[in-house]
A and B are shown apart, each in its own frame.
Chain A
Amino acid sequence: SQQGEEDPQALSIQEGENATMNCSYKTSINNLQWYRQNSGRGLVHLILIRSNEREKHSGRLRVTLDTSKKSSSLLITASRAADTASYFCATPKAGANSKLTFGKGITLSVRP
């Protein structure tokens, strides 16, 4: 089963509005990452938040992490049509050979 699961599965908003996407995970982690995928392209790393951080900013992106609830949120403020993409959270899978596992993604559509 997926380590990280995003919700909602799809989100449609008007340009200028804020977009909030959530990710829940099952086991303890030392960090969580968010990636973006534009249609027909590879994933692009957006931001990494460590387990000892509660909030992190990067431009119009704000990521929070609540380890007690095993959840994270990605907020995109003042959305633009160019933000239209799929967004994935990624968490390390516990084990000797830890590896990054991705959720199924959230499809964000920003209407101009």
Chain B
Amino acid sequence: DAGVIQSPRHEVTEMGQEVTLRCKPISGHNSLFWYRQTMMRGLELLIYFNNNVPIDDSGMPEDRFSAKMPNASFSTLKIQPSEPRDSAVYFCASSPRLAGGQETQYFGPGTRLLVL
């Protein structure tokens, strides 16, 4: 299996621009998670989906952030407009199913975002 696929791997953009990060989960996995990692705050869960439905988006920092999962094999995380403080590594992870925190999560390689 190819694992979780994220694109782009690196993104450099200017403040105010729209940024779209993409994720393809492992085939057959029903749950998908978006995380943000920074030195200051560590790894933060932004939102997660189960069977394409958003379950908990309480970690989404602001209305500038939105996430969709139109089908079982694709999800996007959009930032509009982007700001320098959004610079971070964004990870997508998937798991076979939600299991009350007992699920093993499989992480993608991440998208390193730099907002100038």
Select which of B48, B106, B108 is within 8 A of A99 by beta carbon.
Answer: B48
Tell me which of B101, B104, B107 contacts A42 (CB under 8 A).
Answer: B107
Report the count of interface residues on A (CB-CB < 8 A).
25
| A97 engages B55 (CB within 8 Å) | yes
Interface residues, chain B, with chain A CB atoms under 8 Å away: 4, 33, 42-43, 45, 48, 55-56, 91, 93, 100-110
Residue pair B56, A33 in contact (C-beta under 8 Å): no
Partner of A92, one of B43, B101, B106: B101
- The answer to whether A103 and B107 touch across the interface, beta carbons within 8 angstroms, is no
Please, which residues of chain A bring their CB within 8 A of the CB of B45? Answer: 99-101
Which of B4, B42, B43, B93 has the most chain A CB atoms closer than 10 A to its own CB? Answer: B43
A interface with B by C-beta (< 8 Å): 2, 29-31, 33, 41-45, 48, 50, 88, 91-93, 97-105
| Chain B residues within an 8 Å CB radius of A103 | 42
Q: Are A30's CB and B42's CB within 8 A? A: no
Cβ-defined contact, B110 with A33, below 8 A: no
What is the CB-to-nearest-CB distance from A62 to chain B, in angstroms, rounded to a whole number?
19
Known: A30-B102, A91-B101. 14 other contacts (CB 8 A): A30-B101, A41-B110, A42-B107, A42-B110, A50-B102, A88-B43, A92-B100, A92-B101, A98-B101, A99-B48, A99-B101, A100-B101, A103-B42, A105-B43
Residue on B nearest A93 in the bound complex, by CB? B101
Closest 6 CB pairs of A and B: A92-B101, A42-B107, A104-B42, A98-B101, A102-B43, A43-B107
Min C-beta distance of A82 to chain B, whole Å? 18
B-side contacts of A100, CB under 8 Å: 33, 45, 101, 103, 105
Task: Give the chain A neighbours of B42 by CB distance below 8 A.
Answer: 2, 102-105
Closest partner residue, chain A, to B55 (CB atom): A97
Q: Within the complex, what minimum Cβ distance (angstroms) separates B86 from chain A?
A: 19
Chain A: minimal CB distance from B75 (Å): 15
